[in-house]
Amino acid sequence: MILIISSSLHPTSRSRILARTCVEHLTALQRKVELFDLAESTLPLCDGSTAYGDPNAKRLGELVESADAILMASPIYNYDVNAAAKNAVELTGRAWTGKVVGLMLAAGGQTSYMSAMGLANSLMLDFRCLVVPRFIYATGDCFEGDFLTDETIQERLELLVTETTRIADALRGS
């Protein structure tokens, strides 16, 4: 199963458009896919204590644990992935160990293109994730309404999905 996490809490999120486009591509490839949308399944702030018992935090942890690969879509705020993305990782911790992870970012401008590196480094160092080096970085001009319209970003997203599943399959031995 491929898990897609949409971390935006904004009702008309562009990163959610990226996540849903991934769902479409994976479905077309006849892959089992699960979308966990943080706007629909809210998580408590990680307090290092009781938050781990929250039903949505437990469910996300189980999904991360059972996933063959994870694709995370996040908006960029203040030159970093949003706090909800980091909070999701904090609440699910060790379930990320050894996972294949792809990152998709939606930002307002061109200057935050390295924003994924903090999260990528944390996932690689803390949980030994294999982070696919084909990040998606899409700015506002790549979208029209609820649709991803930039052909280059669409092609790169398809490549991210293909490479992520290929690596996950190779690691699983299938």
- The DSSP code for 48 is S
Q: What is the pLDDT of residues 36-48, one digit of tens each?
A: 999 999 999 999 9
Mean model confidence pLDDT for the chain? 95
Question: Which residue in 103, 128, 129, 140 sits closest to 6, CA to CA?
Answer: 103
Coil, strand or helix at 74: strand
- Average pLDDT rounded to a whole number, residues 57-74: 98
- Which CATH number characterizes residue 101's domain? 3.40.50.360
Round to whole Å and give the CA distance between 41 and 38. Answer: 5
Task: Please give the C-alpha separations between residue 163 and each of 13, 20, 119, 159, in angstroms, as whole numbers.
Answer: 25, 18, 19, 6
**pTM exceeds cut of 0.75:** yes
Contact partners, residue 151, CB within 8 Å, separation at least 6:
none
Q: What is the pLDDT of residue 114?
A: 86
What share of the chain in percent tops pLDDT 70?
99
The count of domains in the chain is 1
- Greater model confidence, 70 or 174: 70
From the number of C-beta atoms within 10 Å of its C-beta (0-12, 13-18, 19+), residue 107 rates as buried
Q: What is the pLDDT of residues 123-143, one digit of tens each?
A: 999 999 999 999 999 999 999
Q: What is the pLDDT of residues 20-34, one digit of tens each?
A: 999 999 999 999 999
With contact defined as beta carbons under 8 Å apart, do 91 and 8 qualify? no
Backbone angle region of 127, left / alpha / beta, with phi > 0 → left and psi within -120 to 50 → alpha: alpha
Q: Are β-strands 33-37 and 147-148 bridged in parallel, bridged antiparallel, or unpaired?
A: unpaired
For 145, the domain range is 2-172
Coil, strand or helix at 94: helix
Question: Which residue in 35, 65, 31 sits closest to 169, CA to CA?
Answer: 31
- Greater model confidence, 16 or 112: 16
User: How far is residue 137 CA from its own chain's centroid?
Assistant: 12
Q: What is the pLDDT of residue 172?
A: 86
- Average pLDDT rounded to a whole number, residues 70-83: 95
- Is it the case that residue 174 has pLDDT exceeding 80? no
| pLDDT-derived band at 112, boundaries 50, 70, 90 | confident
